[in-house]
Amino acid sequence: MFHRFTVGDLECAVVSDGQSEPPLEPPLGSFYQPATGVPESELRDAVAEEGTGRTTLTCAYNCLCVRTPDGIAIVDTGLGPGFLGYGPAFTPYVGKLGAGLGEAGLTESDVSAVVFTHLHEDHVRGAGTDGEPAFPGAVAYAHAAEVAYWSDRAQRIPDEQRGPALEAIRLFGERLRPASYDAELLPGVHTVDAAGHTPGHTAILLRSRGARLLCLGDTFYDPLQLAHPDWRTPWDHDQVRSVAARRRLLAWAADEGVPVHAYHLPFPGLGRIERRGGAFAWRPGLQDRPGDSDPLR
């Protein structure tokens, strides 16, 4: 499953690694918990205000493919084939990145660069299959702080989280290039500080011929985090910093009309951020707003 679009002169496609479907959609309570500052009563009230009555969320894995003058880059690689971490019933729903690339007329060998927003397993497992690189000709980029954190054995990180990160680091070896913020990794592909969710969490800004797209990684998971941007999740490494990054990036996207790519929203995860008082809302699709000075075209 893929969706083509352009950002200026950059040819792009969202390629799905899969997404959850009923009855395997994760419960809202696994994302928004009292331990992370979201009382159950507040969650119930928010869902009631939303008007959906839902108890789960659709969790997608939307990988972003970009054809640059230096070759094809892919931002994040999904959970990969054979993933059993959520139980065998979930396995058939993910690991579809390779098939999606094929539908788009590409193969893994066509990819010359892999850009990681961060090294959580649902963003890196697709970088390898059975211990071998899925993208044998590609270099990889991840923020230096991200690589250092997962590689530091002194950090108390559960093995099930550390293992996939270290495997991605191993798979690329010398082809892994530690990145910094405010850098242009490839023509039109820029890094933006989004740290907090993980120590080196990185947003990716595509910029070409006056057009932009902001790839937000795990800055938010679900529209409820737009309506309640101070809500944290169990996966946020630095909860205070993650909230600050979310508010800063959402405000930028809303105020400047920058279209966004949301990794975990239902496929293809492309849309606009709008202000709603002191919070935000999601508007799917890339239609230009009246008065946009920087349209996606």
Q: What CA–CA distance (Å, rounded) separates 119 from 71?
A: 23
Q: Are 226 and 250 in contact (CB under 8 A)?
A: yes
Domain boundaries, given as residue ranges, for the chain: 2-284
Residue 99 has pLDDT above 90, yes or no: yes
Residue 293 has pLDDT above 90, yes or no: no
163 beta partners: none
Pairing type for strands 128-129 and 60-68 reads unpaired
Average pLDDT of span 98-127? 95
Question: Over the stretch 129-185, which tens digit does the pLDDT of each residue have?
Answer: 888 999 999 999 999 999 999 999 889 898 889 999 999 999 999 999 999 999 999
Q: What is the mean pLDDT of the chain?
A: 93
Is this model's pTM higher than 0.75 or not?
yes
What is the SS3 string spanning 4-17?
A: EEEECCEEEEEEEE
Mapped onto helix, strand or coil, the DSSP state of residue 26 is: coil
Residue 89, pLDDT score: 86
Residue 296, pLDDT score: 38
Residue 28 has pLDDT above 60, yes or no: yes
Residue 22, pLDDT score: 87
Residue 69, pLDDT score: 95
CATH of region 2-284 = 3.60.15.10
Residue 72, pLDDT score: 97
Residue 295, pLDDT score: 34
Residue 127, pLDDT score: 95
Residue 287, pLDDT score: 65
